[in-house]
Amino acid sequence: MRIWLVYSLMLTCSLTWAAPKRQPAQDIEQFLVEAGVINQIEQLRQNVSDTASGLVVNAMGLLGVPYRAGGTNEATGFDCSGFVRTIFERSIGLVLPRRARDQAEVTQNVDVKDLKPGDLVFYHTLRQAFSHVGIYIGDGKFIHSPRPGHQVRIEDMRDAYWAKRFDGARRVNELFPSTVSTLSELPKRLPGLPSFPSLPNLPNLPFGLTSPTSNAATAPSQPASALPSGSPSVNALTPLTAEQN
């Protein structure tokens, strides 16, 4: 009898020793799944994509509207910054500054290789940096209101005229919200979810919840170099020059 008791105790100990320990991340992942948080996050990502797509569609709907200095509506026409301002206000309810340079100062710097539809692209025209702005629509192209006598149209960023005058790209944070990086942030982004005041930041959460990067950037304080004298004329077969807005 004692022998069987010893064997039983040894078997119990071995099973206890062999049982894998659950990692904190596994417990958190299981909770997120059971609470339906993962589905809500995926819906949030989808909504972000839909918002950017809707903004581009709204911009495309104004193709052909004539340029007008100081213009902010399709009835009378747009200048470049007025066009951008109107599209963002109508699409996401965000009122951007009126001037192109000011729009660059309140938006986030983004590398050209990371451009997404809905980002802003800036150019130096009329010998001034950040004097022209358009909305990136994908495939290396942007939509803008160029200059008097012309209409809202699409340009290719790779065309020589625009490539050598490119000042940089900016992102409107409200169009692409940062991904949730910690559990403590989830209640703020997903109403109805309980708070987690005692949990630390977890930089490697499952399901791709990575920490966002922030890069506060503003337009440079010094203007880009002036355009060389004797620049080639622009005709219907080349990209349009643009007015300062």
Q: What is the pLDDT of residues 82-113, one digit of tens each?
A: 999 999 999 999 999 999 999 999 999 999 99
Give the other-Cβ count within 10 Å of 160's Cβ. Answer: 10
pLDDT digits (tens, 9 = 90+) for 125-168: 888 899 999 999 999 999 999 999 999 999 999 999 999 999 99
Give whole-number Cα distances, 219 to 104, 107, 163, in Å. 6, 9, 18
Q: Which long-range contacts (CB under 8 A, 24 or more apart) does 69-75 make?
A: 69/148, 69/243, 69/245, 71/145
Helix (H, G, I), strand (E, B) or coil at 114: helix
Q: Which fold has domain 45-178?
A: endopeptidase fold (from Nostoc punctiforme) (3.90.1720)
∠ at Cα 60 (115, 53), nearest 5°? Answer: 50
Give residue for tokens 């791709």.
208
Give percent of the chain above pLDDT 90: 47
Tens of pLDDT, residues 155-213: 999 999 999 999 999 999 888 765 444 444 445 544 555 544 444 444 443 334 333 34
Active-site option among 13, 124, 144, 150: 144
pTM given for the model: 0.59
Quote the strand ranges of 47-149, DSSP E: 72-73, 77-78, 108-110, 120-125, 128-138, 141-144
Residue 79 has pLDDT above 90, yes or no: yes
Amino acid occupying residue 121: V
Query: What is the reported pLDDT for 51?
Result: 87
pLDDT at 176: 76
Catalytic-residue membership of 132: yes
DSSP state for residue 189 in the 8-state scheme: H
Tokens of 24: 């904190």
The reply to whether 80 belongs to the active site is yes
Q: Which of 13, 80, 124, 150 is catalytic?
A: 80
Average pLDDT over residues 40-60: 74
For residue 20, name the pLDDT band (cuts at 50, 70, 90): low
Higher-pLDDT residue of 43, 229 = 43
